[in-house]
Amino acid sequence: MSVNPANPPRPALVATIEDSFAYITATSRWPIIVTKIIDDIYKTRHSLDLSEGDKIKEGKEIIDSIGELKYHMQRKKPLTPIEDDGEPDNGTWTYVFNTYFKDDNWYSATWLFTECYLYRRIHSILSRTKHWNNYDPFFRQKEDAFKGSYIAIIEIAKRIDELVYIPKLHADNEEIDTGRIIFHELAQISLWGNSTDLSLLTNLSDEDIKKLQDMGTKKLEELEKNILKNDLEKVWSYISEHRNSRIDIVLDNAGFELYADLVLSDWLIQSGYAKEIYLHAKKNSVSEDFFLSASEMEKSFLKKFSNRLQYYITNSQLFLTSNYFWTSPYSYWHLAEQAPDLYADLCMSNLVIFKGDLNYRKLVYDCKWKTTTPFKEAVGPLANMRGSPPILALRTSKADVIVGLEEGIEERLSVNEKDWMYSGKYAIKRYLHIAKIETKTSQLPWYSKIEPLATHIQKVSKSIYLPKSQVSIDEMVARFRVEAVI
């Protein structure tokens, strides 16, 4: 049987296994998440003016519908099709459901499918209303999380300009690669959140400069000691050799994490490592989440940073985009076939950074790989197809799937902590990895960067018309270098 959403390359993670995080998610995490959504809508509904009777009524209907969803989920009821809500991805969900999961319940279907299905069901309930179709039930949480990080946000904003203009420093007649240290620290912020700082390279005395090289190494070692697989040094070497290039970031969460991604983007552009950066968000949330961050930065006296981001957007250096594929029921193994235009666009990038746990799970198909499985093997087509872009996965592990580890690591960690893959409290959950970078492209055909779009066009063309014998072809249609001889 071919690889598909119900049949990943290794046994799927499912909630029927009681010692798995999928089971913990279905029995504990999901009910809590759904309850918070109901509470949020309840608060908003009760804050409405009595003149908004229709919206109040709809709010009650939404609460009832989501409550019924929670009831079915907790009692392992069969999954039901997503109603036609007019969204562009409705056909995709209908096909995947009817083809692979129509006989499954909340526990027997693959965890990756049900996780995405849950949020798609909630989105559908809201989108089919008149007054709540653009309502974000997570807005309060995003806003609170962002406000809770004000101190770290302000400190980073104060230092970002200083970091850009720090010159090459020298200590003991040896040049210190300040760019490398800054890149590592910004990557740590993007990965860890506000548990890191940028104090390393600012306000340096002469003695500080002399100690910088050793201190920088120790600082990075401290920050990165709990990362199980760390290829960040390879990434730094790569972007140093490919300055003024395009970098793409497939985003995960809003709030402080989005802010950290924007700070990294700002530094990459200002420092000349990136000419343009594309931010890919889940569906259409990118604009709302981005401008939430921008408005909050205005309030926090971060207008300079906010204005700079807007300048990048106006001058085509920073692009905000979204695609339904990122929240589809498909793993990224199917990116090329299910979203050929998106894949072809990503192939134009010099580096694609995938942020967060769900993106990582979709990269490796969220199944029971051995932890020693090479990352390139687990990523599958996206890492092996001709013309595919280099990949960097920045991931805090919150699921029981990890690949690319050395022999013995899983056994050593499992002795004392059975939940080390997903506990969230352990720094081992922070994980950096990059797919093998192939820089030798001279042997590839000139059209390799638009594969599989080129092959897709060929297949479609053949299905429409297959030429017979004795066909004449205008020489100007085909690529040529010399005049044809008749």
> What are 228-240's pLDDT values in tens digits?
888 888 899 999 9
**Cβ-proximal residues to 112 (8 Å cutoff; 6+ apart), any chain:** 5, 8, 12, 13, 329, 331, 361, 362, 365, 366
pLDDT score, position 160: 74
The two three-digit tokens of residue 45, written as one number: 């509904």
- Residues of the chain above pLDDT 90, percent: 49
- Region at 15 (left for phi over 0; alpha for psi -120 to 50; beta for the rest): alpha
Beta strands in 315-429 (DSSP E): 318-323, 351-355, 391-396
**Cβ-proximal residues to 101 (8 Å cutoff; 6+ apart), any chain:** 5, 6, 79, 109, 113
Beta strands in 251-370 (DSSP E): 274-282, 318-323, 351-355
Band of residue 453 on the pLDDT scale cut at 50, 70, 90: low
CB burial string 126-163: b at 16+ within 10 A, e below: bbbbeebeebebbeebbeebbeebeebbeebbebbeeb
Q: How many helices (H) and strands (E) does the chain have?
A: 20, 8
> What are 241-255's pLDDT values in tens digits?
999 999 999 998 777
Query: Which amino acid is located at 70 in the chain?
Result: K
pLDDT score, position 478: 46
pLDDT score, position 441: 42
**Cβ-proximal residues to 201 (8 Å cutoff; 6+ apart), any chain:** 162, 163, 166, 178, 181, 182, 212
Give the predicted TM-score (pTM) of the model. 0.82
> What are 105-139's pLDDT values in tens digits?
999 999 999 999 999 999 999 999 999 999 999 88
pLDDT score, position 76: 96
Dihedral, 402, 408, 409, 414 alpha carbons, nearest 10: 90
> What are 7-60's pLDDT values in tens digits?
999 999 999 999 899 999 999 999 999 999 999 999 999 999 999 999 999 999
**Segment 389-418 mean pLDDT:** 88
β pairing state of 351-355 and 318-323:
unpaired
> What are 320-334's pLDDT values in tens digits?
999 999 999 999 999
pLDDT score, position 115: 95
Residue 299 confidence (pLDDT) above 70: no
Is it true that the peptide bond before 452 is cis, omega within 30 degrees of 0?
yes
pLDDT score, position 223: 58
Q: Label residue 423 exposed, middle or buried (CB < 10 Å: 0-12, 13-18, 19+).
A: middle
Name the DSSP class of 25: I
Pairwise CA distance, residues 388 & 335, whole Å? 11
Residue 220 confidence (pLDDT) above 80: no
Residue with tokens 């003991």: 172
> What are 53-99's pLDDT values in tens digits?
999 999 999 999 999 999 999 999 999 999 999 999 999 999 999 99
